[in-house]
Structure 1
Amino acid sequence: MENLDRITQLPEPLIFDILSRLPFEDYARASILSKTWKSLCNSYPLLYFDHNLFAQQYLASNKNGSGEADINQIRDMFLADEDYQLSVRQLDLPFRKIAFLVALNDSEYFSRVDTWLELVKQIHVEDLCIVVQTADYLWENYVDCCSALYEFPMSAMTSKGLRSVYIRGCKFRCETFVDPIDKRRASFSSLQQLYLSHVFLDEDMLENLTLYCQGIESLTLDTCFVMMEFLKLSKFPKLKKAIIGFHRGEIDNVDITDTNLECFKCDAKTNIYVSPAVCAGIRELRLVWHSINLPNLYKDLTATFPLLEEVDIFIENTDTLKAANNTLRKLRFVKHGFVNVKEVRIDCPRLTLLKILTNGLTEVYVDCPKLRVFKYCGNTIPSRISFSSMPDLEESSCEIYIKEACDTLWLINLRAFLILVMGNVTNISLSFKFPMATFKPEEVEAIEASPQYNVHLSTAFPDEATENISAFVDSLLWVCRPTTLTLGCRSYYIVKYMCENLATISRDNISDEQLSRPCWVRPC
């Protein structure tokens, strides 16, 4: 095992980071891999208390016992066992991480959680994770749910050396407390990361966080129940990363002006206030379902966000997108609102992923030699598309929703588009809203077939497709040359045609010359 253990050769900080991400069961198994791993695991003390895991182990060990175990009895044993384990572990040795996961169906158990957190306060711990699942965890009724949540005491975050806190399924206890030594308002100066999931949060609770957690550098609100009119992130003076995920309740405005954010991601449907100074320092940006105070913010990403590395945005009220950032690696944008993005110009030497979702796109100019993934979704085939430096695409995806009748010229444009964007794996999805126009199959013979790659074609046709649709499908196969085909339709003509012709064709009895011609002229 020692000879196969290459991870041990990594720097210790990196190994500790790997250990911190392991589930407890894997962490325990890692400690017996080798003497080196055992030493590292012992120097990385971790306590992991999982109510569900405890119950499973208890039931497995007592499966031959008499009678069924009572849920409350198992919960009492779990809480008592964790209290004991914590009390005997109160040593000077600091803990890297302590995790506590418990399911409670009655508020009378909340005092037991308080006792457990009091023990944690006496221990030097860097990362604290607490998950308290109540009967109303799914939040089908907001009012009843919030009243039933466990109140997490902010004083629990006074543990010496605490850097990161993860809280799920709780609400904050509104309290004011002072430092026992200098008698002034306490400050959790060591706390750098706060992750809240399924947490009830209002303006008073947030104000308490801003008072006591001035050193926070990373704040995440994930699926929280938020009740506030204005979220002003500048109240966290050291904040570098802010993530606001999907939430319940109301959060009308988010203000990031006067901050030093490097990463800002917001999935909330809200009004966002930014400033040019803030935009100039942002490296990672994700904004969806939002309104923003600065018009044309995304028209020129290079001028507005010069340091961008990753961006995922909904674009509103602009018909042009330009980017020439040397640092940009991933770009995703979606048209939002009534204005379509018609022109896209991307000149980013380090860009590896480009995803475009917009209607009415006519011009695309890309100069990204390191581009590996290209994805496009829209209702048109761009009439002007150019790749100055032909990238070696690993994956390509095209979803086109066709609202107008198609003819031979449309197939020619599709072929030209596919030749440019073909990757090692190409997924093509075509949805047709109307029956085909008058179509002449013999015109397709003049169209050069697209290069053969690993192509997967999926189509959807209207139910009222006419008999002429069979020839169109055949020509579509000729243009795309798919490896696999998925037909979404209820057209009698397509089904009949595929059964009578394509299903009887085999590669063995067809010459190369015949194979190079459209299916409708092949012998069956």
Structure 2
Amino acid sequence: MERMESQKRNKETFDRISYLPEPILHHILSFLSTKDALKTSFLSKSWSNLWTSIRILDFDEFTFYNKDVMFYYHGELGDEEDDDKIKWELKKQFADLIDRSLLPLEGQNIRELNINFDHIDDSILMTRVDPWVRFALTNVSLFRLDFSCGEPLEYCPENMYQLPPCSFPSKFLKVMELSCCQFMALEHNISFPCLETVILNQVQLYDTSVTDLIANSPHLESLYLESCWFSTHFIIDAPQSQLKYLVLDSNDVDEQCHISVPSLLHIQFFGVMPSNISVENLSNLIDARLEFRYSVYSIYGGMLEMLCELLNAMDHAKTLTLSNFCLQILSLLEAGVAELREYLPSPLYNLKHLTVKTDLNNYALVGLACLLRISPNLEAFSIEFSYDNVRLVFGDDLFSEEYKHISKLDDSEFWESQLLLFPCLSHLEKVEINKFGGQKFEMGLVKYLLQKSFLLKEMVIIHDKCNNDELEFLKELFKSRVCNTSAVM
């Protein structure tokens, strides 16, 4: 009896997992976080090196600390001097952990390495990062290095970590994402032959660092620059590159930017409108998005000139997206000032699909009309209503008093008051309206498009706060007043 119970206990306590084939154990480990995978090395001697099979490494400084440690880290306990010592020691321990983890993986192909390290201004700790970057450049396909602590910075910190720390090529890196550091101009012997995507967030850029990066990355196709800081003029001049997708999210109105990349297919501008921005040589462009937001609450004639030059340079694009801010700038074309009329963009003959994101206040309404006039071959029109409750001041004294009172025009009758038909109405086939609220000026636009679009095949209205009466009105309007009787709604 005792023998049977002993056999039963042995059977219940038998370690079956450790005797599984190693490929299965490796597969199991691949589902664990890096922190938990490292813990398995303490289970037994046979498990000590199994964790080295994982190909995605994620070192987040704050997920490696327990709650008690976090109290110390955020200075909740102890005086300031003691807290600084504790924080420094915690960072040192975290750096030690990364060192020990990367050492046995040298020479292996790592799919992904993520390191999230709170911003450091200690020269000793900064030097600890250098080997990690070298490891990434020689062993990793996707590398993320983030010093932001997960929060956006309001200003550019001093003494940020500088990249790259080495002068040899990276043969494996395909995706690189950097946050809150400095990216220096590259030396001639540094190259990224496999690099395809670069994302720079809150990175301080110097001189020709971006142009050098593109020139030394023959397969780079996508470049994202989000809230970066530039030392002087920001220039991307890459006549021989393969870059196809460029996103620039600016946070500084004083920036001066010039872009010349003939290979670009897609270009997007977000954030504030820089004081001076220009583009050229975009003959392959397919899609352009100008989604500048309000940098200042005054509009000046110089903004119109800059925006019209951008539209002229993007005349090859088949799809175009504009923000509410851009529409209001375009309204200056109706300011009754001869100098401003000279900025009128050339017709966008290649444009097939126009998207605007707007509240269609009276100035945006006028700007949209200007845009439709220079889009003669438009086939699809999308509008997304967004209400930011921002009203701008027109900063130049040369604007006529009549123009300054556009805010008093009857927006519900605006389209009916247009004396000339828009050329695009002879080609427009599809209209999509998102976040439709049933306001009078929205109804006026729908009515006009239904009545005047000769080839309209489909109108899609996604309503937001539209009541049943307004929806029934739209349905009756569509049935009785539609220009093309074969259109569907």
User: Which range, TM-score by smaller chain?
Assistant: 0.5 to 0.7
Match of 2:45 in 1: none
Match of 2:63 in 1: 53
Matched, 1:237 2:227: no
Letter in 2 for 1:260: S
Moved more, 347-356 or 235-244: 347-356
Counterpart CA distance in 1 for 2:214 and 2:311 is 31
Match of 1:517 in 2: none
Match of 2:137 among 106, 121, 124: 121
Counterpart CA distance in 2 for 1:249 and 1:23 is 45
Match of 2:255 among 248, 251, 255: 251
Deviations 1:251-297 (A, max 9, x none): 213233x522111112342333345x626622242252665558487
Match of 1:269 in 2: 273
8 A contact 2:175–2:198 mirrored in 1:
yes
Q: 1:56 to 1:327 in 2, by over 3 A?
A: farther
8 A contact 2:138–2:172 mirrored in 1:
no
Match of 1:307 among 297, 318, 340: 318
8 A contact 2:145–2:177 mirrored in 1:
yes
Match of 1:167 in 2: 178
Secondary structure at the residue paired with 1:49? strand
Deviations 1:92-149 (A, max 9, x none): 4x222111111144422101111222333331x2111001248997344x4xx2x321
Q: 1:133 to 1:156 in 2, by over 3 A?
A: farther
Map 1:272-311 to 2 at 5 A: 272-275=277-280, 278=282, 281-288=285-292, 295=308, 304-305=315-316, 307-308=318-319
Match of 2:300 in 1: none
Map 1:341-360 to 2 at 5 A: 341-342=368-369, 344=372, 351=381, 353-355=383-385
8 A contact 2:211–2:236 mirrored in 1:
no
Matched, 1:202 2:202: no
Q: 1:138 to 1:272 in 2, by over 3 A?
A: closer
Match of 1:33 in 2: none
Match of 2:462 among 392, 395, 413: 395
Counterpart CA distance in 1 for 2:194 and 2:231 is 28
Match of 2:161 among 150, 170, 174: 150
How far residue 43 of structure 1 moved from its aligned partner, in angstroms, is: 9.8
Counterpart CA distance in 1 for 2:167 and 2:466 is 51
Map 1:94-493 to 2 at 5 A: 94-107=109-122, 108-123=124-139, 125-133=140-148, 138-140=153-155, 142=156, 145=157, 147-153=158-164, 155=166, 158-174=169-185, 176=187, 185-234=189-238, 237-248=241-252, 250-256=254-260, 259-267=262-270, 268-270=272-274, 271-275=276-280, 278=282, 281-288=285-292, 295=308, 304-305=315-316, 307-308=318-319, 312=323, 314-315=326-327, 316=330, 317-318=332-333, 328=353, 330-332=355-357, 340-342=367-369, 344=372, 351=381, 353-355=383-385, 362-363=414-415, 367-369=428-430, 371=432, 373=434, 375=436, 382=444, 385-387=448-450, 388=453, 389=456, 393-396=460-463, 425-426=464-465, 450-451=470-471
How far residue 157 of structure 1 moved from its aligned partner, in angstroms, is: 8.2
How far residue 186 of structure 1 moved from its aligned partner, in angstroms, is: 3.1
Q: CA RMSD in A?
A: 5.0
Matched, 1:90 2:124: no
- Percent identity over the alignment is 14
Deviations 1:1-35 (A, max 9, x none): xxxxxxxxxxxxxxxxxxxxx9969x99xxxxxxx
How far residue 166 of structure 1 moved from its aligned partner, in angstroms, is: 0.5
Deviations 1:173-204 (A, max 9, x none): 4563x6xxxxxx33222212111111111214
Secondary structure at the residue paired with 1:228? coil
Q: 1:245 to 1:306 in 2, by over 3 A?
A: closer
Q: 1:269 to 1:157 in 2, by over 3 A?
A: farther
Letter in 2 for 1:266: F
Secondary structure at the residue paired with 1:160? coil
Match of 2:90 among 74, 77, 84: 74
Aligned residues: 352
Secondary structure at the residue paired with 1:115? helix
How far residue 380 of structure 1 moved from its aligned partner, in angstroms, is: 5.8
Deviations 1:27-73 (A, max 9, x none): 99xxxxxxxxxxxxx9982111111111247849x9xxxx9993333
8 A contact 1:134–1:148 mirrored in 2:
no
Counterpart CA distance in 1 for 2:119 and 2:311 is 47
Deviations 1:307-337 (A, max 9, x none): 2275557142446999897963744367979
Q: 1:327 to 1:296 in 2, by over 3 A?
A: same
Secondary structure at the residue paired with 1:278? coil
Counterpart CA distance in 2 for 1:331 and 1:374 is 12
Counterpart CA distance in 2 for 1:138 and 1:297 is 29
Structure 2: runs of 5 or more not aligned: 1-30, 38-51, 294-302, 335-343, 388-405, 417-421, 475-489
8 A contact 1:332–1:356 mirrored in 2:
yes
More helix by share: 2
Deviations 1:335-369 (A, max 9, x none): 97997444647886555555599966622887554
Counterpart CA distance in 2 for 1:170 and 1:379 is 50
How far residue 227 of structure 1 moved from its aligned partner, in angstroms, is: 2.5
8 A contact 1:226–1:250 mirrored in 2:
no
Structure 1: runs of 5 or more not aligned: 1-21, 29-41, 179-184, 397-424, 429-447, 455-524
Moved more, 348-357 or 215-224: 348-357
8 A contact 1:216–1:236 mirrored in 2:
no
8 A contact 1:215–1:236 mirrored in 2:
no
Which of the pair has the greater relative contact order for Cα pairs under 8 Å at 6+ separation? 2
More strand by share: 1
Letter in 2 for 1:50: D
Secondary structure at the residue paired with 2:285? coil
Letter in 2 for 1:263: H
